[in-house]
Amino acid sequence: MAHAAPTPLLFPEVRYGLSLFAPFSWLSRGLSDLKQSPGSSMLHGLCFTVLGWLLMGTFRQAVEFATAAATGFMLIGPFSALGLYELSRRREKKLPCTLMDTVVIWRSSAGSIGVYSLLLILTYLLWGRASMAVFSLFYSEGMPTTTHFLHQLGGLENLNFLIAYGTVGAFFAAVVFACSVISIPLMLDRDVDTVTAMLTSCFAVIRNLPTMLVWSLLIVAMVVIGIGTAYVGLIITMPILGHASWHAYRDLINSPK
């Protein structure tokens, strides 16, 4: 049973004590939302797939850039799923929803979401630079080629690189996850500013840390599955995660009284 923890009056009321199995419920409800609006949901997923193909095509001769772009999906995902949050919100309120509704929904919180998206873009650019630095400092055989990169990683020929890349990547992912896990759904649902939304998101993670660790692992697994299928799997996995993130927000934040 989740309980409400006291929070400052300026902040939405954050629940704590959510079950470790709650993230699986979010995924189940996300899948249900996908089934209810398959066309609009999968169109969002297709955009992720096409973006992945474009990035890989652009950087096919530069594995260091392609790797940063692929792993960056987990950083830009919260913003890119804005339309999916709206689909779930409208289904919850039993409102009709067209594709156009999901395209223009950002207008209701344009200022807050705009500031947040700018911060997310800056973080993504910083991650790209950090990724390149790790390649330069720790990859022992110079910049890798597409042909040999996966073979070299599979053979653990660059164990120091794997540890460094994983550590730096985990740091960026943890910061973005904590600040964004419910921030955009919160800005979409209520009239709150960017800082309030991000701090509330951090409070929710801290007060439900074991549950949110499970949720973060599920997100990583779903993204890896999507990317590992030549980005085709993102057509399904990203919409499920987007819808599920709305239900995570609804379970983590009490409704206003």
Instruction: Establish if 12 belongs to a structural domain.
Output: no
Instruction: Establish if 231 belongs to a structural domain.
Output: yes
Instruction: Establish if 129 belongs to a structural domain.
Output: yes
Distance of CA 244 to the CA centre of its chain: 11
Q: What pLDDT shows up at residue 158?
A: 67
Instruction: Establish if 242 belongs to a structural domain.
Output: yes
Q: What pLDDT shows up at residue 192?
A: 85
Q: What pLDDT shows up at residue 173?
A: 84
Instruction: Establish if 24 belongs to a structural domain.
Output: no
Please return the burial class of 102, using the count of CB atoms within 10 Å of its CB with bins 0-12, 13-18 and 19+: buried
Give, as one character, the DSSP assignment of residue 14.
Answer: B
The domain containing residue 122 runs over which residues? 40-252
Instruction: Establish if 23 belongs to a structural domain.
Output: no
Q: What pLDDT shows up at residue 48?
A: 85
Instruction: Establish if 45 belongs to a structural domain.
Output: yes
7 three-state secondary structure: coil
Instruction: Establish if 183 belongs to a structural domain.
Output: yes
For the chain (257 residues), the mean pLDDT of every run of 10, in chain order, is 49 87 96 90 88 75 64 70 85 73 59 79 82 75 56 62 83 88 88 88 94 94 87 92 94 80
Whole-Å CA distances, 34 to 85, 120, 216, 223: 11, 26, 20, 17
Q: What pLDDT shows up at residue 71?
A: 67
Q: How many folded domains does the chain comprise?
A: 1
